[in-house]
Chains A and B, each alone.
Chain A
């Protein structure tokens, strides 16, 4: 059963198992999208928000007219909800834990401490990127989504994803250089 038929069948029968079919078909991708918008440092549970997206989908399903593909429509809904949640969320940037610092000092492991510091810096720079750039960076480099999947989820051509990723990397490099950090450049 394709998506549009499943939607029509659900609206006609209100059979929860038909809705379950739609949820199970899209849950992984919706979760990836929501997590990428929220980012790894938000104090919100991506799964909670993803479930809320499906609850919202259930409310809005009667308004689905089939003008866009069901998947694109759902991803748009998920993106908007995740952006709303991110606005309200608190972003807790990673910090060097005392344990990590002590380990680094005791073992004179300057490399380990430098690595932690670098990771902290990258996290901060990525968080400062504009929304869509940040989401794409997280999808690609945190969740390892292929470019084609990112393109489908965000309803843009693959070429656009590649160009946005390239621009996002450029911005990261420029910001790193502006802060006098040379490792990204």
Chain B
């Protein structure tokens, strides 16, 4: 009786197409992994930038709220405002291109860090 059922099952399923494994199966898997990794790195970078942006915004607002409570000459208020405004793009730039910012700082700090000329000692 079992033979009859087995035969029936085999006959019934014989027409169903069997899954085929393509020759590029492993290559396709590796490509999908590489694509997934690139996408997740991009997501991570975007999240980090967003967090950094929020951090700078909060820091800027907190600093500004403290500074407005103190009496100060008008030029200091202007300078602080400019610094506050510059801090966000500078923060982004430092995060995105730390090497370039370091190089830029070194370039500008070179006169201060350089050995003084013998005649000027």
Chain A residues with a Cβ under 8 A of chain B: 16, 19-20, 23-24, 27-28, 31-32, 34-35, 40-41, 46-47, 50-52, 54-55, 58, 94, 115, 118-119, 122-123, 126, 137-138, 141-143, 166, 169, 172-173, 183-185
Task: Please measure, in the bound complex, the distance between the C-alpha atom of A173 and the C-alpha atom of B2, giving whole angstroms.
Answer: 9
Q: Which of B15, B26, B27 has the most CB of A within 10 A?
A: B26
B5-A173 in contact (CB<8A) = yes
Q: Does B8 contact A (CB under 8 A)?
A: yes
Task: Please measure, in the bound complex, the distance between the C-alpha atom of A150 and the C-alpha atom of B5, giving whole angstroms.
Answer: 19
B21-A28 in contact (CB<8A) = yes
Q: Does B32 contact A (CB under 8 A)?
A: yes
A23-B10 in contact (CB<8A) = no
Q: Does B30 contact A (CB under 8 A)?
A: yes
A40-B21 in contact (CB<8A) = no
In B1-29, the 8 Å CB interface with A consists of 1-2, 4-6, 8-13, 15-22, 25-29
**A126 CB contacts on chain B under 8 angstroms:** 9, 12-13
B20-A47 in contact (CB<8A) = yes
A184-B8 in contact (CB<8A) = yes
B21-A141 in contact (CB<8A) = no
Residue of A nearest to B36 (CB): A55
Listed A/B pairs (5) with beta-carbon separation below 8 Å: A41-B16, A51-B25, A141-B6, A166-B2, A184-B4
**B80 CB contacts on chain A under 8 angstroms:** none
**A185 CB contacts on chain B under 8 angstroms:** 1
B2-A119 in contact (CB<8A) = no
Given A142-B16, A169-B2, A185-B1, A16 contacting B21 (CB threshold 8 A): no
Task: Please measure, in the bound complex, the distance between the C-alpha atom of A156 and the C-alpha atom of B4, giving whole angstroms.
Answer: 26
**A20 CB contacts on chain B under 8 angstroms:** 26-27, 30
Task: Please measure, in the bound complex, the distance between the C-alpha atom of A160 and the C-alpha atom of B32, giving whole angstroms.
Answer: 37
A47-B9 in contact (CB<8A) = no
Q: Measured between C-beta atoms, what is the minimum distance from B31 to chain A in Å?
A: 10
